[in-house]
Structure 1
Amino acid sequence: MHSENWDDLRFVLAVAENGTVSGAARQLGVNHATVLRRVAAFETRFGVAVFDRTAKGYTVRPERLRMIEAAREAENAVQSVARMLQGEQAPVMGSVRVSSTDSLCQFVLPEIVGTLHKDVSGLRIALMSTNARSDFSRAQADIAVRPTDELGEDMVGDVGAQLGFGVYATDDGQKDWLGLAGPLTRSLAARWMAERVAPEQIVSAADSFVVLTYMAGMGLGRAVIPCVLGDADARLKRLDDGGLPSAPIWVANHVDMAGVSRIEATRRYLLQGLDGMKEQLLGVV
């Protein structure tokens, strides 16, 4: 690839990483118009459209994902060679978007990511908090950390720990129940409730275990929530749960991203971090 082509590709990569032209301009230290001109030059030269342009920003087209990843690997390789020539060990570098539930994003992953950043300074981790499954075909995330009993057929990964659940309330005498709504209706906890709790006993619901924890802590009813949330709330006590199942926490990525160095490195750290917290996550007391 000619040097000017590679230089244009740097602008394409910056837009792909930031999702906006303004973000790419800040990263590269140029103005908005320069980014637009360089991206347009690349697309014109190769006769391809790399991005879908929407009101929210720029999204890499599904058929161009492999091209973007190859370009990122090439960029990292060039930087690695430069460091080796300088006698330095070339670290893994790049941005990685990790999609997970609000429970794990608030109570578990920040500690793991903090350790990762201390050990691997070249990686930049963005936590994407959502209880809905991310659409990896549209490049909304690079890695998923999800408590689920099975992965989609287009995903590969490993189980880092088990997420334990319990029934929590402010006191044993609480008879009302708090239900699960939205994406949580597909969870193992929802299946357990459907088999044991009559609909008329459910007085309210939420689509977030974090919200359910607060509601239970206010005395609004019993709630099935992850032990890592319930045990941390001094207002709540764990009641007899009658055999609630635990959910495996998968650390996974799309099959097309297998072998990408920055993603593999991040996955290893996430798996190690989850393993180090396995008793807390399972709710062992």
Structure 2
Amino acid sequence: MDTWDDYKLILTLARERTLRATAEAMGVNHSTVSRRLAILGQRFGTPVFERTPDGYRPTDIGQDLVADAEQMDVIAMRGKRLSRTALSSVTGKVTVSIPNTVGQFLLLSELEAFSEQFPDIKLALHSSYQLVDLDKAEADIVIRGTHNPAEHLVGQRLFPYALSYYCRKGYLEATPPSERRWIVDPSFEGPPEWLERTPFPKAPVGLRVQDIILRHQAVLAGHGMARGACYMADAEPDLMRLPGAGIEQGLPLWVLTHPSLRNIPRIQATMRFLSNTLRKKKSLITGALGAPAGE
């Protein structure tokens, strides 16, 4: 084939399985993918992919081309990482992938301090709860809560975040026991299993809200009780832990990067700043800040 774009099309379609998803991943329209796929079939004199009920699958020749494309993709990703290592000073772009809640509730207020300390680093924050692929240079640094980060990544394990149970101050006094409701993630078909560990296990589920921050806002607005991260709720003066609610340990937080980036000064500086910022907020993250006196 003539260009990397052709191989990229083949590789993306093999991974995405549909023309629409492939078009979205490549930033083109559906008809462009269909047209280019037809041209490839004409060029080889046989279809490169066949359509099945489960999506597009590579034919025999398509499988060979997918294998070639995967090798080229590995080389291209390695080239991206090497180009980033070429800049050795504390300058340039650093992309950090973080969960939206960590960015908003733990790091947002410190971004100005980072800019003042490192004016030549162009920090780009990408908020996502999905794992990004550092091997494919989708980010330079990632902050995630996990028990098992990829073994080849390097960085620091901090400490687990904590969870507890919250409502708006005055909610319990203003709401009769029969009218108290829980706000939960809609992924639970029935009552979530943690409900039995709360001070009000018999209270029914009311609102079902997928977005974590929207659930937090619903509790803050007085619409019910919810399980939430201590670093989000304990800093809110209008929220309180439910009487008798303890804390539950969540996943450990990690600050990670790819081994090929670990010695780049701007990566080191950014990782050090992020780790130190989170360490300074350990009592908030681990739930100690909002614990009643004597705990």
Scaled by the length of structure 2, the TM-score of the pair is 0.62
Gaps of 5+ in 2: 10-25, 29-71, 291-295
Q: Is 1:203 matched with 2:239?
A: no
Gaps of 5+ in 1: 1-43, 78-90
Encode CA deviations 1:41-95: one digit per residue, 9 max, x unaligned. Answer: xxx9xx977x958217xxx944322222222332x24xxxxxxxxxxxxx41121
Q: Is 1:123 matched with 2:121?
A: yes
> 1:149, 1:273 → 2: CA distance?
21
**Where does residue 63 of structure 1 map in the other structure?**
75
Cα distance change of structure 1 residues 109 and 234 upon mapping to structure 2, 3 Å threshold: same
> 1:246, 1:192 → 2: CA distance?
15
Residue 182 of structure 2 is aligned with which of 177, 180, 199?
177
Partners of 2:80 and 2:137 within 8 A in 1: no
Cα distance change of structure 1 residues 199 and 277 upon mapping to structure 2, 3 Å threshold: same
**Where does residue 225 of structure 1 map in the other structure?**
228
> 1:208, 1:199 → 2: CA distance?
24
Deviation at 1:246, TM superposition (A): 4.0
> 2:4, 2:214 → 1: CA distance?
45
Where do residues 93-108 of structure 1 align in structure 2 (5 Å cutoff)? 93-108=91-106
**Where does residue 259 of structure 1 map in the other structure?**
263
Deviation at 1:267, TM superposition (A): 0.9
Partners of 2:163 and 2:247 within 8 A in 1: no
Partners of 2:105 and 2:232 within 8 A in 1: yes
Deviation at 1:255, TM superposition (A): 4.1
Deviation at 1:194, TM superposition (A): 6.5
Partners of 1:131 and 1:208 within 8 A in 2: no
Percent sequence identity over matched residues?
24
Max radius of gyration: which structure?
2
Partners of 1:169 and 1:217 within 8 A in 2: yes
- RMSD value, Cα: 3.4
What SS does structure 1 have at the residue aligned with 2:263? Answer: coil
**Where does residue 156 of structure 1 map in the other structure?**
154
Cα distance change of structure 1 residues 200 and 281 upon mapping to structure 2, 3 Å threshold: closer
Q: Is 1:270 matched with 2:274?
A: yes
Partners of 2:164 and 2:227 within 8 A in 1: yes
Q: Which moved more, 1:171-180 or 1:212-221?
A: 171-180
Partners of 1:161 and 1:274 within 8 A in 2: no
What SS does structure 2 have at the residue aligned with 1:164? Answer: strand
Scaled by the length of structure 1, the TM-score of the pair is 0.64
Q: Match of 2:182, as an amino acid?
A: W
> 1:114, 1:215 → 2: CA distance?
29
> 2:152, 2:209 → 1: CA distance?
29
Cα distance change of structure 1 residues 191 and 144 upon mapping to structure 2, 3 Å threshold: farther
Partners of 1:102 and 1:208 within 8 A in 2: no
Q: Which moved more, 1:109-118 or 1:153-162?
A: 153-162
**Where does residue 68 of structure 2 map in the other structure?**
none
**Where does residue 144 of structure 1 map in the other structure?**
142
Deviation at 1:191, TM superposition (A): 8.3
Cα distance change of structure 1 residues 243 and 149 upon mapping to structure 2, 3 Å threshold: same
Deviation at 1:278, TM superposition (A): 1.5
What SS does structure 2 have at the residue aligned with 1:141? Answer: coil
**Where does residue 90 of structure 2 map in the other structure?**
92
Encode CA deviations 1:112-171: one digit per residue, 9 max, x unaligned. Answer: 332222112221111111222223344322211122333233433212344222211123
Q: Match of 1:70, as an amino acid?
A: L
